[in-house]
């Protein structure tokens, strides 16, 4: 059963879903202070005690110090297991809010209101929560499902165009691993990246549906859920190399291009399907190349990736578009050859 609600102008209809709670911790970045204040007032009018936790924007929010700040607010307000946390913001905010909720009293109710496309189709769905460390991204976290995710497409109205296009990287990921008709929509429908269009709404709903199905059947990533990491092994390494200043979608578009080249070199994907990757990313204006001199640094980071098992690298590759599989222990030479195909 889906726990996500997709629509427009949903913020005034959230209170009935919080029944049973008295206190609400609303976690939100300063950039959304006006929206957060509106939501706070709406919930207070419905009888809730609302405490605001204003956190840094982007990956700076995903630090243990920020989580501790939120827990301090909850402790001073005597939050109990019937109370709840709402995460309002992008993927970093929803990751943090989920981590905070999962660990306070070993779990309080969690509601998420993603306000970026990336968060709507990826970070807020599936129950992964986490924070970053100096050693890598999302190495500390837990699996914890939200009670509801409110996907209000109208919140994308103020999202910069380049942020929306970066979020499309996660949308087309679902096309590459499961449903190539999504790729055709992106390539053929000029309204596909217009948040007000029905084509865009269809892509968001399809993305959420795929992720909910996969993560419900494989909650703790022991099987099919791992396929959702297509492009992420190299993508996360690039984010780490760029000290998390890059947009996630930009990094994983390079990661998927690399994974497609790796799929080709390992005798799986056809050259035409690799070309389709490049066609899709070009249509979205997303990057497909990275620096040659960073290979050794990226390899070292990938070897610490949480998808690595017993020191053995694992990459999600494609047998064909819509059919992912796992490539275990590729040689450094194979990885370097694939990497050469994406250098600037």
Q: What does the pLDDT look like over 242-258, one tens digit per residue?
A: 988 899 999 999 999 99
* pLDDT tens digits, one per residue of 222-236: 889 999 999 999 999
* pTM of the predicted structure, to 2 decimals: 0.92
Q: Phi/psi at 160 (nearest 5 deg)?
A: -55, 145
pLDDT of the residue at 280: 98
Q: Quickly state the pLDDT bin for 89 (edges 50, 70, 90).
A: very high
The closest alpha carbon to 172, from 219, 214, 204, 127, belongs to 204
Q: How confident is the model at residue 131 (pLDDT cuts 50, 70, 90)?
A: very high
Helix (H, G, I), strand (E, B) or coil at 125: coil
Q: What's 158's DSSP letter?
A: G
Q: How confident is the model at residue 308 (pLDDT cuts 50, 70, 90)?
A: low
Across all residues in the chain, what is the average pLDDT?
95
How many Å apart are CA 124 and CA 6, to the nearest integer? 13
Q: Is 137 helix (H, G, I), strand (E, B) or coil?
A: strand
pLDDT at 136: 75
Longest dimension (CA), the chain: 62
For residue 239, what are the β-bridge partners?
none
Taking only the tens place, the pLDDT of each residue in 31-82 is: 999 999 999 999 999 999 999 999 999 889 999 999 999 999 999 999 999 9
Confidence (pLDDT) at 304: 83
Q: Can you read off the two tokens belonging to residue 248?
A: 């996630």
Give the residue carrying structure tokens 């005597």.
78
Phi, psi of 209 (to 5 degrees): -60, -45
pLDDT at position 169? 98
Predicted pLDDT of residue 215: 95
pLDDT at res. 310: 66
pLDDT at 139: 85
List, in order, residues 6 or more apart from 189 with CB less than 8 Å away.
197, 199
Domains annotated for the chain, with CATH where assigned, are 4-158 (3.40.50.1970), 161-340 (1.20.1090.10)
Question: Per residue in 180-228, pLDDT tens?
Answer: 999 999 999 999 999 999 999 999 999 999 999 999 999 988 889 999 9
97 burial type by CB count under 10 A (0-12 exposed, 13-18 middle, 19+ buried): buried
pLDDT score recorded for residue 222:
83
Give the residue from 138, 148, 175, 153 showing the smallest Cα distance to 273: 175
């Amino acid at each position: 059963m889906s726990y996500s609600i997709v629509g427009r102008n949903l913020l005034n209809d959230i209170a009935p879903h919080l029944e049973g709670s008295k206190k609400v911790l609303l976690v939100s970045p300063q950039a959304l202070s006006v929206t957060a204040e509106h939501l706070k007032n709406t919930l207070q009018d419905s009888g809730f005690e609302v405490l605001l936790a204003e956190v840094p924007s982007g990956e700076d929010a995903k630090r243990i110090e920020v989580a501790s700040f939120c827990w301090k607010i909850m402790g001073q307000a005597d939050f109990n297991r019937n109370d709840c946390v709402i995460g309002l913001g992008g993927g970093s905010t929803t990751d943090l809010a989920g981590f905070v909720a999962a660990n306070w009293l070993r779990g309080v109710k969690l509601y998420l209101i993603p306000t970026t496309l990336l968060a709507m189709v990826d970070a807020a769905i599936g129950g992964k929560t986490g924070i970053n460390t100096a050693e890598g991204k999302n190495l500390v976290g837990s699996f914890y499902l939200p009670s509801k995710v409110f996907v209000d497409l109208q919140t994308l109205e103020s999202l910069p165009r380049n942020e929306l296009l970066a979020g499309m990287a996660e949308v087309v990921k679902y096309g590459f691993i499961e449903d190539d008709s999504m790729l055709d929509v992106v390539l053929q429908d000029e309204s596909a990246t217009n948040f007000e269009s029905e084509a865009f709404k269809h892509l968001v709903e399809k993305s959420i549906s795929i992720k909910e199905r996969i993560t419900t059947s494989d909650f703790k990533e022991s099987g099919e859920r791992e396929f959702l990491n297509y492009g992420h092994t190299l993508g996360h390494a690039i984010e780490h190399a760029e000290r998390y200043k890059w947009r996630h979608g930009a990094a994983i578009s390079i990661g998927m291009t690399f994974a497609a080249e790796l799929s080709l070199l390992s005798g799986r994907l056809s050259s035409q399907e690799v070309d389709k990757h490049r066609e899709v990313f070009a249509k979205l204006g997303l990057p497909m190349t990275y620096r040659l001199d960073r290979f050794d640094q990226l390899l070292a980071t990938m070897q610490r990736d949480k998808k690595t098992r017993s020191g053995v690298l694992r990459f999600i590759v494609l047998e064909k578009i819509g059919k992912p599989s796992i490539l275990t222990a590729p040689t450094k030479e194979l990885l370097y050859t694939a990497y050469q195909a994406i250098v600037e």
